[in-house]
Structure 1
Amino acid sequence: MAHQMRTLGMIGGTSWHSTIEYYRLINESASERIGQWSNPPLIIHSINIEVMREQNKEKINATYLDTANKLQSAGAEAIIICANTPHMAYEHVQPQIDIPILHIADATGQAAQKQGLKKLGLLGNRPTMTGDFIPKILRNNYRMETITPEGDAINQAHGYVSKELTQGIFSDQAKRFFLDQIVLLKERGSDGIILGCTELPLLLEQSDVNIPTLATTDLHAQMAVDFIFGEL
């Protein structure tokens, strides 16, 4: 089966915890198709998370373009960015390389569409919730509305993500905070919740809430596997 699989490039490191989760999910899903004694061809480039913490968009764009070019030169046939927030670099990078970047918002939108969802609450860090790189694709490609927490909740969510979740800390306090935000988003009309931080599905489970959740990590990893096997 190995010769029938496409080579996938993975940009990781933001955070390395999420990169491990992507690597695990992709390999587990692939193994279900080809057996436990085989695994897909993957090229991983792990960047320093500091480039994201500085919040310098030009530097982020340059770093992801450089990394994408390296993966393309190394033989990757498509690229997956192993986190939500770095997709802010997608519009800068994609036109300058010759292979596709599998966008996390497309994976999310396709799953939401299958469930008939129209208004999605978006949880994540500040750049993900205030940026347009996920809502724009959901709006233009899937005709879905996206809403985010109100007031200081965005700053609180960002604090939990940056200081705890990306450091591998999953506290009861963080879980209570995000569960409260899901209730508020549902009260404002959300019929689904995007867990738009790669570590959020590690903190929250579908059984914790009574509204559909879209775990972007899982959906994105499945999109990657579909590409590997030529089904995308």
Structure 2
Amino acid sequence: MFETIWHSIRKPSGYKQLAQKKFWRLLLTLLAFFGIVTAVHGYVLASAMNPFLTFMEQEFRQKMPPFTYDGTQLQVNAATPLTLSQQNGYQVVVDVTSPFPKDTINKLNSGVVVGKTDLYIIDRGVPQSFSYRQLMLPPLTKDDVVTGIPLLRPLFYVGLVIWAFFMVFWSFLQITLFSFVAMLAGSLRRVRLHYRDAWLVAAFAFIPASLIGILNLYLQSPYVGLAFWIAVFTYIYHGAGSFRERIDVE
């Protein structure tokens, strides 16, 4: 496993040799690798959500003003923006003054903003938004949420497991889509790739790119995000070229 991962990173010109291994062994290696990558992403997500879940369990009942959610917008019976919690640099703020509370979001480095139509999770100054419709929230009130708080953390972890399976599936779907990019890269390198080889080239290329994706979890830089895709296309291009000696186009 580790040999395959290492060579896919170090030497794209050796993808031809890697592709000659038994397919089921390569598939198990890819499953293990992308499972580990997903676990790292899940750990970071769980770490980011843990302070918010703790707030919900310990402070929500006392500090959150009465509110109603009608299935579209959140209405709060208090003036906002309102800071509900501020511990160790992590803040929980309610702001329903506008659909997109830009000023409040920009002030936070780490925390959560409960908006009119979206929930914003901010990590190192970078916000991620989740609409209430996307979260499939039904119409509810504060009392409804208070009743469901004991189930909140278990439901989050169940959702995290479901998300993890989806992310592994998404990784393999991306590989399948980019196998056609590998075939195109092969034609540019005057190589006609069989589909199995093209699929493996794409799979190997996503290994180093995924490590860049993990790095970006901590750097949160658009430039590192761009480097992810540059790595995918670069490794695919050079990996496809490694098959030239075997099947050159006449």
TM-score with structure 1 length normalisation?
A: 0.26
- Of the two, which has the highest radius of gyration? 2
Higher-helix-fraction structure: 2
TM-score with structure 2 length normalisation?
A: 0.24
